[in-house]
Amino acid sequence: MHELIKNSATEIRNKLINKEVKPTELVEISLDRIKEVDPIINAMPTVCPERAMSHAKEIESKTESEKPYLQGIPLSIKDLVEVEGVRTTWGSPLFKDHIPTKSDILVQRLEKNGGIVVGKSNTPEFGAGANTFNDVFGASLSPWNTKKTVGGSSGGAASSLVSGEVWLASGSDTGGSLRIPGSFCSVVGFRPSPGTVPTGPGNSPFDSISVSGPMARNIEDTALMLNAMTGYYEFDPYSKKQTPDYLNAVKESKIPKKVAYSFDLGGEPLDPRVRASMEKSLKVFESMGSELIEDCIDLSDAHHIIRVLRSLKFAAQAERLKNHRANLKPEIIWNIETGLKLTGAEVAEAELLRAKLFNNTAEFFNKYDLLVCPTVMVPPFDVEIRYMEEVEGVKMADYINWLYYTHSITLTSSPCVSLPASFTDDGLPIGIQLITECNNEYDLLSYSQSFEKNNTNAIKTPIDPKS
């Protein structure tokens, strides 16, 4: 492992500013690391060395006043997001040879701000599922234990970070796709409020369930990348014309005064190893001087709401099901068929229940600075298991049921983050989830920085893959 791989993205940016390293050198280091470890973990199946090097040289040729914000930091882009001239498959055989002619706005913005795309990170087919495997590239494996899953759907992104292939990674999150891999890989998975990171143009501009966000090895790097992803975009009705400098939230980190916590979000099953990790994390908040109160938002309708609204999103793929059913995995077929069976009354009820949940959440955060809960019910499991069918004796009704700790929070539109918390006795990572009120990414980053600074139960990454 090259010594610079061990540096944080913020440290790398400072070295670029001080001319201690060049973007072209970083691209070479990143590509060398990918060659070294990706045959083992399969995090970044598509690499674009010529494109990355060309962009690095372009940044190097600029004058000091023209240098972009990120200065030339190599990063990965999730394979659900189009990059001009680079194979983009959505993890589906239907698009295994697809080469986009234009980059998504997310990529355009990151590249304009000085991020260098070195490759596309692996994802489940169309991002459906929290175990990263597909019929195009196969499964991504955990660097902590190559028999374990990295989670999903931003699993390749998280694995690329923890193994040191890149310094930053983009991801997206519907039911936990940034946070679950964050927990399973011991990196930061940050889900912002809708519109903080703009998306589009698309056929569902008013979708507030799916968002894009940053992944990094620590909170400071997360804030750095979030700064490079935000901004107004006319094709996103939720996008914001003004956002703060999120690095200031890290520099001025605050301790939350009143912290609500819940082990089970209303009675959901929880692996004892995750419970033990949560107990350690609560002691970190106690040591900081936070007042801890066991309390929770009323999430009793969350299972029902997410099934309806998620299925409604998939119903838009009806044409794909009609023409390409044989090439879709069972979970995709189930999602689309469930969506097509929905009635207007069911959709209306789900929307009304979600409105009630949002209002209850706003009231909740009038009392508390922060809500703390587990990120996932279980630690990382064997990669051969498609999804958890049972947790602590409780049968899961479908492939999204075990994602309750993340998908229930999605429905609130609150920004939320999974932070590295601790490890099981056999060395598997476990994350902790922190949540604030809608559009309060600033305080969430600030509180997260305080937790990270005071938590002695996590291990610094990157690491070499372990069998």
Residues with a known catalytic role: 78, 153, 177
Q: How far apart are CA 184 and CA 392, in angstroms?
A: 19
E-state strands within 244-332: 258-261, 291-294
- Is residue 274 a contact partner of residue 440, using CB atoms and an 8 Å limit? no
As given in the structure block, the two tokens for residue 113 are: 């701000």
Q: How far apart are CA 250 and CA 324, in angstroms?
A: 47
Coil, strand, or helix at residue 370? Answer: strand
- Give dist(CA 381, CA 426) in Å, integer: 12
The reply to whether omega before 201 is within 30° of 0 (cis) is yes
Dihedral (CA of 302, 279, 393, 147) sign:
positive
Which amino acid, 323? N
Reference 188, options 164, 212, 220; nearest CA is 220
CB 310 within 8 A of CB 335: yes
CA–CA distance, 429 with 186 (Å, rounded to integer) = 5
